[in-house]
Amino acid sequence: MIYADNAATTKMSGAAMNAMLNCMEETWGNPSSLYGLGQRAKEALEDARERIAACIGASPKEITFTSGGSEADNQAICSAAALGARNRKRHIISTTFEHHAVLHTLKKLEGEGFEVELLPVGELGTVTARQVAEAVREDTALVTIMYANNEIGSILPIAEIGAVCRKQGVPFHTDAVQAAGHLPIDVKAQNIDLLSLSAHKFHGPKGIGVLCARQGIPLSSLIEGGAQERGKRAGTENVPAIVGMAAALEEACARLEENTAKVSALRDRLIAGLSQIPHAALNGDPVNRLPGNVNFCFEGIEGESLLLLLDDQGICASSGSACTSGSLDPSHVLLSIGRPHEVAHGSLRLSLCEENTEVEVDTILKAVPEIVGYLRNMSPLWKDKVSGKKKFIL
Amino acid sequence: MALYSEKVMDHFRNPRNVGVIEDADGVGEVGNAVCGDIMKIYLKIEDGIVSDVKFETFGCGSAIASSSMATELIKGKPLSEALKLTNRAVTEALDGLPAHKLHCSVLAEEAIRAAVKDYYDRQGIAYDPKDFPDCGSCEGCHG
């Protein structure tokens, strides 16, 4: 099997699994309990908090554990919105290609009277700090812009946007789910007030994430109950997952440069090879791009068929076609960078990690053109383009 | 459980009757690129019998499998029977489709009807237009 869907989830690292197993055997108590077993669990929890904070330039008090990236996004945005509303600020700036955890939360806030302004992301899929500066108003309650896009891999100028927001006194949240463990993060240097991350994107366990909130930004809780996480997130902490996340993040950050060099070389080999396919186009920013992300549109074919045939050859990938999203429309990300529906249906995302090899990339490079050719050969849409009856788009 | 039945995967992996009939007696094309699926059916008719049928499809796995199964179900059959092919029959022959993929079987039924209508038009054979309603909006199936 060739696993090339690391943006969907990653395989857990040995370090993370060992940390979790050890925790489940030795420190399985409830961190809120007074006796030794509970207090040892509490120590493991706080140790993990310190280590995670150190990885992203935060202080431990700024770290709140959540069930993952979606919860962190929801809580960050709702907290900033509540804070804004108390000061009669009801304007929120974001982008058209955020994750649904952000966009759907913003939609809900729109229903509650907030005005949401989604900045266009252009053909490369990015926004500039200048766009943000021009959009900020006196009543802006929040700017929420992702660090890197999960589908097309564009990396956004987060530090510059952070500087604009800090200067204007507007809270800045970034969904760093795709960035954490893969790109450098320093919440202080980058002027990030709120940041979301999720462990299973960097070889940690699923169902655990972090909301990092700068001191002075009050969080509203989404889940009421006990006083865990300083009253900001009720429920007994998932200590094994938290220590697994800490181990995974430390490892990813320690090897960040080495992994980036290796993975981006594999990515560029894959991009160069797939670019040879006629009437195909790379999606996203070719330069400011996540090390592992490859995303192409192939004209005249549909993405799900491509995925099924790749799966038959043991290659795991994903697509933004409507058929794979389970809705009428293809990926909102591909539409937001101006791909027409027809072309967006024929998209393929391959996301690599440091465990992938050149041999695997070459296997993919052999499989994809063959399958694309096979599917085009049975596609009446492709035939119409070849015959000149319809125009090529790519 | 897998997304598709083994029957669907078999017809997707080894589609029957893929291709073009250059001297077809009737050709039907339905669907559109915006929705992400187009089916084209070619018919050869001899003495009122579907003597040959081929298809071309742009679409997902179930669209290709539905086209393949539909061509198998009408090949060698009288035209009158081919016209009676329903999307339900295609779905059943495939051992079912996921709910959000049922429109693929509808598309297969529509493509065959469109090809038969084209045959009638070319031959100057009279028919009741009510037997060939338009597919209508895509939302009917997708929504």
A300 and B63 in contact by Cβ < 8 A? no
pLDDT at A17: 98
Q: What angle do CA B7, B10, B11 make, to 5 degrees?
A: 90
| CB neighbour list of residue A387: distance below 8 Å, 6 or more residues apart | none
pLDDT per residue as tens digits for the range A262-296: 999 999 999 999 999 999 999 999 999 999 999 99
pLDDT per residue as tens digits for the range A335-388: 999 999 999 999 999 999 999 999 999 999 999 999 999 999 999 999 999 999
Rounded-to-5 percentages of helix, strand, coil across chain A? 45, 15, 40
Residue A320 near chain B (CB below 8 Å): no
User: Which chain A residues are closer than 8 Å to B100 by Cβ?
Assistant: 326
Over chain A, what is the mean pLDDT? 97
pLDDT per residue as tens digits for the range B30-73: 999 998 999 999 999 999 999 999 999 999 999 999 999 999 99
- Give the lowest-confidence range in A38-42, B2-6, B88-92: B2-6
pLDDT at B131: 79
Residue A302 near chain B (CB below 8 Å): yes
Residue range B98-116: mean pLDDT, rounded: 94
| CATH 3.40.640.10-classified regions of chain A | 14-254
pLDDT per residue as tens digits for the range A354-365: 999 999 999 999
Whole-number percent of chain A with pLDDT over 70: 99
Give the gap in angstroms from C-alpha A313 to the nearest C-alpha of chain B. 12
Q: How far is CA B18 from the centre of its chain?
A: 12
Q: Give the Cα separation of B76 and A384 in Å (integer).
A: 29
Contact A385, A300 (CB under 8 A): yes
pLDDT at A355: 98
A300 and B143 in contact by Cβ < 8 A? no
Architecture per CATH, A256-387: Alpha-Beta Complex (3.90)
pLDDT at A323: 78
User: Which chain B residues are closer than 8 Å to A341 by Cβ?
Assistant: 33-36
Does the pLDDT at position B141 exceed 70? no
pLDDT at A33: 97
pLDDT at A329: 85
A302 and B29 in contact by Cβ < 8 A? no
Whole-number percent of chain B with pLDDT over 90: 83
Contact A58, A187 (CB under 8 A): yes
Does the pLDDT at position A80 exceed 50? yes
User: Which chain A residues are closer than 8 Å to B37 by Cβ?
Assistant: 302
Whole-number percent of chain A with pLDDT over 90: 97
| CATH 3.90.1150.10-classified regions of chain A | 256-387
pLDDT at B137: 53
By C-alpha distance, the chain A residue nearest B40 is A380
pLDDT at A350: 98
Token pair in block for residue A310: 């790749």
pLDDT per residue as tens digits for the range A126-139: 999 999 999 999 99
B38 and A379 in contact by Cβ < 8 A? yes
pLDDT at B138: 55
Q: In the 8-state DSSP scheme, what is residue A339?
A: -
pLDDT at A326: 67
pLDDT per residue as tens digits for the range A212-263: 999 999 999 999 999 999 999 999 999 999 999 999 999 999 999 999 999 9
A300 and B58 in contact by Cβ < 8 A? yes
Residue A383 near chain B (CB below 8 Å): yes
Architecture per CATH, A14-254: 3-Layer(aba) Sandwich (3.40)
Mark B66-83 as b/e (b = at least 16 C-beta within 10 Å): bbbbbbbbbbeeebeebb
* pLDDT bracket for residue A99 (50, 70, 90): very high
Residue A326 near chain B (CB below 8 Å): yes
Contact A4, A364 (CB under 8 A): yes
Give the gap in angstroms from C-alpha A315 to the nearest C-alpha of chain B. 16
ipTM of this predicted structure: 0.94
Q: Give the Cα separation of A69 and A230 in Å (integer).
A: 19
Q: What angle do CA B68, B72, B78 make, to 5 degrees?
A: 135
Please report how the helices A239-254 and A256-274 are oriented relative to each other, as an axis angle in degrees rounded to 10.
Answer: 80
pLDDT at B133: 74
Q: Give the Cα separation of B69 and B108 in Å (integer).
A: 9
